[in-house]
A = this chain, B = another copy of it.
Amino acid sequence: MNPVKSKLNFASDYTKGAHPAVLSRLVATNLEETPGYGQDAYCEEARDLIRRACACPGARVEFLVGGTQTNETVISSVLRPYQGVIAAETGHIATHEAGAIEAGGHKVLTLPQHAGKLDAGEVRRFLQDFFGDDNHEHMVMPGMVYISHPTEYGTLYTKEELCALRAVCDEYRLPLYLDGARLAYALACPDSDVTLPDLARLCDVFYIGGTKCGALFGEAVVMPDPALIPGFFTLIKQHGALLAKGRLLGLQFGALFTDGLYEKIGEPAVRAADTLRRALVQKGYALCFGSPTNQVFCLVENRKLAEVGRSVEYSFWEKADDDHTVIRFATDWATTEEDIRALTGLL
């Protein structure tokens, strides 16, 4: 079978395999023998590299396979059974994880989104109202705050916004959890002032996305306080999230964190997305949500859309009105300027 690349593909950032540096490492070590379950030297090495990149030498780092799995394992492990997790109404856990958080016994407590983000002030008011309600012991107690960075709309928290959320979390003693499925594209964003050490300082737990950022698969959970989740290894196993050949994760993250690759890997994607955004504006399309990262959202007339769809894969996002649709183009670490030229030529 030989699938021919018949169309330009901007449908998502997980349509390709791995960055060459990642893949070649898997190939080079293929017949080596290592212990399983993440207990091997490659995982240890990757953990060290990540701790160093986060300037957090005491952090616990564990590798899981995918994003939904990571979210459900971390969240259900941190929450007590009477607690729920606060998230923006557009948060991935609230929408596109097939109810994984609820399947683990916990409510997702949604708040309004602002360009995909939670607002610290609104979180505080929600918590004030909750604890001020005489009936709050009959209700699900907020036990954690979930944010994604970049968000589902490709937007980014500023350091100031993260600090404001951290302050609310401190007031109410809530762990702050950041879903970094696309974190490389945030780090590569010239206007973003949030670094890995910032995340390690401001979050109680976050994950560094591999699947969408150059790995075949894999997410690295970072817990600055290694005691945050007692029994975490067993919980990873229980959630079916413990890879037998754990070294595959160590090898990939080792490659991604060698010579600062992870912090640079998103640059071509963001540059390509910027080029695309400029071209779209020039051609009269309206951009949506204000994403500065590798996801480009724009408004397209439905008639035009049918035409575009014949030669480009994109993602349907939402119906805007009877005649217009919001669509998404996603670039990735392997997107070239040539791909963008080809795409803009069609728009």
Contact = CB atoms under 8 A, between A and B. Distances in A.
B18 A34 contact: no
Nearest to A30: B17
Contacts of A345: none
A interface bracket (residues with beta carbon within 8 Å of B): 35 or more
B31 A138 contact: no
B245 A138 contact: no
A131 interface: no
Contact of A14 (B9, B65, B80, B244): B244
A33 B16 contact: yes
A97 B234 contact: no
A103 interface: yes
A65 B239 CA distance: 12
A32 interface: yes
Interface in A50-69: 65-69
A117 interface: no
Contacts of A138: 96-98, 234, 237
A135 B315 CA distance: 10
A249 to B, nearest CB: 10
A237 B254 CA distance: 27
Contacts of A70: 240
A230 to B, nearest CB: 6
Nearest to A3: B41
A5 B45 CA distance: 17
Nearest to A235: B82
A190 interface: no
A134 B108 CA distance: 23
A177 B9 CA distance: 39
A80 to B, nearest CB: 6
A290 interface: no
Residue among A12, A84, A316 with the highest chain B CB neighbour number at 10 A: A12
A42 interface: yes
A242 interface: yes
A104 B105 CA distance: 6
Interface stretch (A211-219, A220-228, A260-268, A303-311): A211-219
Interface of A: 1, 3, 5, 9, 11-12, 14-18, 20, 23, 26-27, 29-36, 40-42, 45, 65-73, 76-77, 80-84, 95-100, 102-108, 134-135, 137-141, 211-212, 216-217, 230-231, 233-235, 237-245, 248, 254, 313, 316, 334
30 contacts: A3-B41, A3-B42, A5-B33, A14-B244, A17-B248, A26-B26, A26-B216, A33-B313, A65-B65, A66-B240, A68-B237, A68-B240, A70-B240, A72-B240, A77-B81, A80-B230, A81-B231, A82-B238, A96-B138, A97-B238, A98-B138, A98-B238, A103-B105, A138-B234, A138-B237, A141-B231, A141-B234, A211-B245, A212-B244, A240-B241
Given A65-B65, A82-B231, A95-B139, 6 more contacts: A3-B32, A17-B31, A82-B234, A100-B239, A217-B243, A239-B240
